[in-house]
């Protein structure tokens, strides 16, 4: 009985809701009819960016939206196209989005080269060859619920992009005919970029798939392009590397600049163990023990190791002084400056130049020395304070004894 009642309510609700939807949203008679067939359509269309600007069903699907009768609505001469094929989708979307005059009047800041770029992408090239399983506009943006790119619910919103791309590229069965790996998404989520974007929600700073591969023109970057791609964000690192003796050597050996050391999708934080000349270290991929490059790697390792050891010593010293109640904030400022210096030194490493590194290390060492001085001065001051306290306590004690003696010498009470 309850089920019947619920069903009756649902039918009544739909009956009341459908005309209301049709009244508010563009789509005319098409929408009135299709919301009763497709449960999701009404909800999707409500949030669709095109629907909000008054673009109706006929803009993509053709047909006559003023007709109650479906046969009349789809009759010849109405340009009715029904469900669009992947290739038709790209043409339909590109028809408006590639039209400079049309877009200038509606969304002048939106680029109009999406279709051109798409045609240069691996997706676009394969589609042109007749492969319909590749991504086209609707695969990423959706069809009837297209949202603005900066809408957090959009599948192409920065933090949703990895899952959207990974939806196909992480599916081994789906990708089996394309002869490409499917571990990109799994690797990306463990990378520094993935963690920054997906865990810290750094949608402005951390790159998603499209930031390196391009969005509409998505393709694997060429070796020559790697430094430029990484250098978009890590510009100083790229500049240093391109000016270093390693750049021509990499070119000669056809090594992908940044990727050769840092990897692609699984880029992790750099640790001191990275450098050095021990087997397994990154530098050992190319440099044998005892070579000039290996010597430099060893210098980097020793330098960073020594700087790190000094930090431990400083932290211990400042911590001891702080626990004993001393103010060491000035020392902490020096530590912070030294840490900033270390971060800069890691960047300067990309110059692969010993003199450049030595200059920065001298600066770090100066800040560390100043921090140590603050720590030792604090402990010395503590000693001075305690000595001062001991002297003043002695004086107060003498005074107290003097007063006590005086009390004893006073005339006795009655």
Partner 1 sequence: MSTSPENPDRALLAWAKDRYPIGKFVEWAEHKTVPIGPGAFWYYFGGISLFLFLIQVGTGILLMFYYKGSADTAFESVRFISAKVPFGWLVRSVHAWSANLMIFSVFIHMFSVFFMRAYRKPRELTWLSGIVLLALLLGFGFSGYLLPWNELAFFATKVGTDIIGVIPVIGKPIMYVLRGGEEVTGSTLPRFFALHVALFPALLTTFIVGHLFFIQMQGIHEPDAWKAQPEQRKTMPFFPHFFMRELLLWLITLNIVAVLAVFFPAELGIEADPFSPAPAGIKPEWYFLSTFEFLKYMPAHVGPLEGEELGLLLISFGFLLWCLVPWIDRGQSRRMTTIVMGTGVAILIFLTILTGIGYAT
CB of 322 to partner 1, least distance (A): 9
Does 84 contact partner 1 by CB under 8 A? no
Q: To the nearest whole angstrom, how small is the minimum distance from the Cβ of residue 321 to partner 1? A: 12
- Within residues 386-405, the interface with partner 1 by CB under 8 A covers 386, 388-389, 392-393, 396-397, 399-400, 403-404
Contact 334, 371 (CB under 8 A): yes
Q: Does 406 bind partner 1 (CB under 8 A)?
A: yes
Residues that bind partner 1 (rule: CB under 8 A) add up to a total of 22
Nearer to partner 1, 121 or 367 (CB): 367
Shortest Å, Cβ 118 to partner 1: 43
DSSP state of 132: T
CB of 382 to partner 1, least distance (A): 9
CA dist., res. 256 & res. 254, Å (int)? 7
- 327 binds partner 1, rule: CB under 8 A: yes
**Per rule CB under 8 A, is residue 407 in the interface with partner 1?**
yes
Q: Of 254 and 409, which has the nearer Cβ to partner 1?
A: 409
**What is the pattern of x (binds partner 1, CB under 8 A) and - over residues 328-347?**
-xx-----------------
The CA-based angle 34-39-40, given to 5 degrees, is: 100
- CB of residue 201 to partner 1, shortest distance in Å: 16
Using left for φ > 0, alpha for ψ between -120 and 50, and beta otherwise, residue 153 falls in: alpha
Distance CA 25, CA 259 (A): 49
Contacting partner 1 (CB under 8 A), which of 1, 4, 37, 410?
A: 410
* Using rule CB under 8 A, residue 325 touches partner 1: yes
In angstroms, rounded to a whole number, what is the distance separating the alpha carbons of residues 397 and 409?
18
> Is the separation of the CB atoms in 93 and 57 below 8 Å?
no
* CB-nearer residue toward partner 1: 17 or 395: 395
Q: Does 323 bind partner 1 (CB under 8 A)?
A: no
d(CA 102, CA 325): 70
Given a contact cutoff of 8 angstroms between Cβ atoms, the answer to whether 63 and 57 are in contact is yes
The pairs formed by 320-325 with CB atoms below 8 angstroms and a separation of 24 or more are 320/375, 320/379, 321/375, 321/378, 321/379, 321/382, 324/379, 324/382, 325/382
Which stretches of the chain bind partner 1, using CB under 8 A? Answer: 325-327, 329-330, 385-386, 388-389, 392-393, 396-397, 399-400, 403-404, 406-407, 410, 413-414
């Amino acid at each position: 009985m309850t089920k019947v009642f619920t069903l009756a309510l649902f039918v009544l609700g739909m009956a009341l809701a459908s005309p209301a939807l049709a009244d508010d949203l563009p789509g005319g008679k098409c929408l009135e009819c299709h919301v009763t067939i497709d449960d999701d359509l009404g909800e999707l269309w409500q949030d669709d960016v095109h629907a909000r600007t008054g673009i109706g069903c006929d803009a993509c699907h053709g047909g006559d939206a003023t007709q109650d009768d479906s046969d009349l609505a789809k009759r010849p001469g109405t340009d009715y196209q029904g469900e669009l094929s992947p290739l038709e989708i790209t043409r339909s979307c590109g028809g408006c989005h590639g039209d400079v005059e049309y877009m200038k009047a509606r969304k002048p800041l939106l680029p109009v080269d999406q279709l051109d770029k798409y045609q240069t992408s691996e997706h676009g090239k394969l589609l042109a060859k007749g492969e319909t399983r590749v991504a086209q506009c609707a695969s990423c943006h959706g069809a009837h619920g297209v949202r603005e790119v900066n809408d957090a619910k959009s599948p192409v919103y920065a933090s949703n992009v990895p899952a959207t791309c990974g939806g196909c590229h992480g599916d081994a069965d789906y990708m089996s005919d394309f002869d490409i790996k499917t571990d990109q998404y799994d690797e990306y989520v463990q990378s520094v970029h993935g963690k920054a974007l997906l865990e810290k929600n750094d949608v402005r700073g951390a790159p998603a798939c499209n930031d390196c591969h391009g969005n509409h023109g998505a393709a694997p970057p060429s070796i020559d392009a790697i430094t430029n791609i990484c250098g978009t964000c890590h510009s100083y690192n790229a500049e240093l590397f391109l000016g270093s003796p390693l750049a021509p050597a990499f070119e000669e050996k056809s090594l992908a600049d940044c990727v050769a050391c840092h990897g692609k999708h699984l880029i992790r934080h750099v640790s001191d163990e990275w450098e050095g000349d021990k087997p397994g270290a990154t530098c050992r991929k190319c440099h044998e023990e005892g070579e000039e490059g290996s010597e430099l790697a060893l210098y980097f390792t020793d330098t960073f190791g020594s700087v790190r050891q000094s930090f431990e010593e400083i932290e211990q010293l400042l911590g001891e002084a702080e626990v004993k109640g001393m103010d060491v904030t000035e020392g902490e400022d020096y530590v912070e400056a030294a840490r900033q210096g270390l971060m800069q030194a890691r960047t300067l490493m990309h110059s692969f130049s010993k003199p450049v590194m030595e200059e920065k290390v001298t600066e770090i060492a100066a800040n560390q020395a100043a921090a140590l001085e603050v720590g030792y001065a604090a402990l010395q001051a503590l000693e001075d304070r305690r000595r001062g306290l001991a002297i003043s306590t002695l004086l107060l004690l003498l005074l107290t004894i003097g007063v006590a003696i005086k009390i004893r010498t006073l005339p006795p009470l009655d």
